[in-house]
């Protein structure tokens, strides 16, 4: 019955009781984040019907609206000492009238915003850190913490239904927005990524830029049951990391964003929260050379290559990188990446 469901607010309280580590500031901040995500979900669902988002690219305008919603919803509660949005070059300072807390919030307000114009799911990513002791006004350097320092991480996805997927450092749980009662309710407890998979998400348009280990892995997937893997794979690309990770958490898979035109994904705003979620759900996240969660950030806008998802496949691709660096990989003779492309030429 509806009144017996576990809401996100109730889950946060019960989780802290179980752990014995009561953190009122974190609980309050996560409640503000879920409020912001409800408002963003509403804005996304209205799309160009909302006059403030009409004209030009609906995605870019809604990205700005989502950024303002997140900042204005989370700045006043007294849990934060600073925020860092993917849209801003510098950390956002909490306005003087509001009290300061111990938390830092890093977020991407509307990841995959370009997809809005074609009605494809988009999402909001967030990561919670602790402000270093003795820092009254956080600067960029105070946000440059490795992913292992995250207190909580998650995303909201705005699709056929709106969801928040969250980790507090002990498992991953999914909450679906019940619009009848206006609350996110627990629908996907203890999400676990299957260790093996037959799905891979990668942008094939950038194949000319892929490093050799990635070309080798994708070619084996394309060869399917006739190749060395002996199994058929499905390749896909949504161009929204939140959507890709959501699919991986639900049914397994691999997301590869190798070095290329975009040089991967934002470390602080995208890769770190995704890596924490995937790690807590039994998967793995790597650049191909090192675990993502262990990387010491060097800049707010730092980009890194990303390989994350089902553990067996991530470890296979890491092994391919090691073999390549040692010069041990097999001769690469397939014509797929040599004299022809993924697409046939019209006669």
Q: Tens of pLDDT along 85-135?
A: 999 989 999 999 999 999 999 999 999 888 888 888 999 999 999 999 999
| 198-236 confidence digits (pLDDT tens) | 999 999 888 999 999 999 999 999 999 999 999 999 998
pLDDT of residue 259: 84
Q: Is a pLDDT exceeding 60 seen at residue 1?
A: no
Cα–Cα distance between 81 and 163 in angstroms, integer? 27
Q: Is a pLDDT exceeding 80 seen at residue 335?
A: no
Q: Is a pLDDT exceeding 80 seen at residue 280?
A: yes
pLDDT of residue 54: 47
Tell me the sheet residues that pair with 167.
Answer: 153, 172
38-47, 160-169, 292-301: the lowest-pLDDT one: 38-47
64-68, 166-170, 262-266, 332-336: the lowest-pLDDT one: 332-336
For the record, the structure tokens of 43 come out as 């804005």
Numbers of helices and strands, H then E, in the chain? 8, 14
Matching residue, tokens 């990524």: 193
Residue 138's H or E segment, with its range, is: none
Which residue in 65, 77, 133 sits closest to 105, CA to CA? 77
316-to-24, 28, 93, 207, 220 alpha-carbon distances in Å: 42, 41, 43, 19, 12
Which residue in 250, 283, 279, 263 sits closest to 121, CA to CA? 250
Q: Can you point out the beta strands (E) in the chain?
A: 80-85, 103-111, 122-130, 152-158, 162-167, 172-178, 183-188, 199-201, 234-236, 254-257, 265-266, 284-286, 303-304, 306-309
pLDDT of residue 50: 65
Cα–Cα distance between 88 and 83 in angstroms, integer? 10
For the record, the structure tokens of 193 come out as 């990524």
pLDDT of residue 343: 40
pLDDT of residue 344: 40
pLDDT of residue 341: 43
Q: Is a pLDDT exceeding 50 seen at residue 7?
A: yes
Q: Is a pLDDT exceeding 80 seen at residue 47?
A: no
Cα–Cα distance between 84 and 71 in angstroms, integer? 9
Q: Is 339 helix (H, G, I), strand (E, B) or coil?
A: coil
- Does this model's pTM top 0.85? yes
Q: Is a pLDDT exceeding 50 seen at residue 16?
A: yes
Instruction: Go through the domains of the chain in sequence order and give each one's CATH number.
Output: 2-188 (3.30.540.10), 199-329 (3.40.190.80)
> DSSP letters of 74-136?
HSSSS-EEEEEETT-SSPBPPPTTS---SEEEEEEEEETGGGGGGT--EEEEEEEEEPPTT-S
Q: Is the dihedral of CA 9, 62, 128, 252 positive or negative?
A: positive
Q: Is a pLDDT exceeding 90 seen at residue 276?
A: yes
Mean pLDDT of the chain: 90
pLDDT band with cut points at 50, 70 and 90 for residue 281: very high
35-44, 45-54, 178-187: the lowest-pLDDT one: 45-54
- Per-residue exposure over 62-92, b if at least 16 CB sit within 10 Å of its own CB, e if not: bbebbbebbbebbbebbbbbbbbbbbeeebb
For the record, the structure tokens of 147 come out as 């992913």
pLDDT band with cut points at 50, 70 and 90 for residue 322: very high
């Amino acid at each position: 019955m509806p009144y017996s469901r576990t809401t996100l607010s109730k889950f946060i309280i019960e989780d802290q009781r179980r752990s014995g580590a009561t953190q009122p500031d974190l609980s309050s901040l996560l409640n503000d984040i879920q409020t912001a995500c409800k408002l963003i979900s509403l804005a996304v669902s209205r799309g160009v019907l909302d006059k403030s988002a009409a004209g030009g690219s609906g995605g870019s305008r809604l990205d700005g609206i989502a950024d303002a919603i997140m900042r204005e919803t989370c700045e006043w509660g007294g849990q934060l000492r600073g925020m860092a949005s993917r849209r801003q070059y510098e950390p956002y300072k909490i306005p003087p009238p509001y009290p300061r807390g111990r938390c830092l919030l890093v977020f991407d307000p509307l990841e995959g915003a370009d997809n809005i114009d074609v009605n494809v799911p988009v999402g909001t990513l967030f990561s919670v850190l602790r402000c270093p002791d003795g820092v009254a006004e956080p600067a960029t350097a105070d946000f440059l913490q490795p992913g292992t320092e995250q207190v909580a991480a998650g995303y909201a996805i705005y699709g056929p239904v709106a969801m928040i997927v969250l980790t507090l450092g002990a498992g991953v749980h999914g909450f679906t927005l019940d619009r009848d009662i206006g609350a996110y309710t627990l629908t996907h407890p203890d999400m676990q990524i299957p260790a093996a998979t037959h799905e891979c998400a990668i942008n094939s348009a950038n194949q000319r830029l892929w490093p050799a280990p990635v070309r080798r892995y994708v070619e084996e997937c394309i060869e399917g049951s006739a190749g060395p893997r002996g199994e058929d794979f499905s390749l896909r690309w949504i161009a929204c990391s939140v959507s890709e990770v959501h699919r991986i958490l639900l049914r397994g898979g691999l997301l590869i964003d190798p070095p290329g035109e975009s040089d991967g994904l934002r470390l602080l705003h995208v890769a770190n929260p995704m890596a924490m979620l995937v790690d807590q759900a039994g998967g793995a996240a790597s650049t191909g050379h090192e675990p993502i969660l262990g990387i010491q950030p060097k800049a707010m806008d730092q980009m890194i290559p990303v390989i994350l998802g089902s553990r067996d496949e991530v470890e296979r691709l890491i092994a391919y990188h090691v073999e390549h660096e040692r010069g041990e990989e097999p001769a690469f003779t397939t014509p797929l990446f040599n004299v022809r492309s993924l697409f046939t030429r019209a006669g």
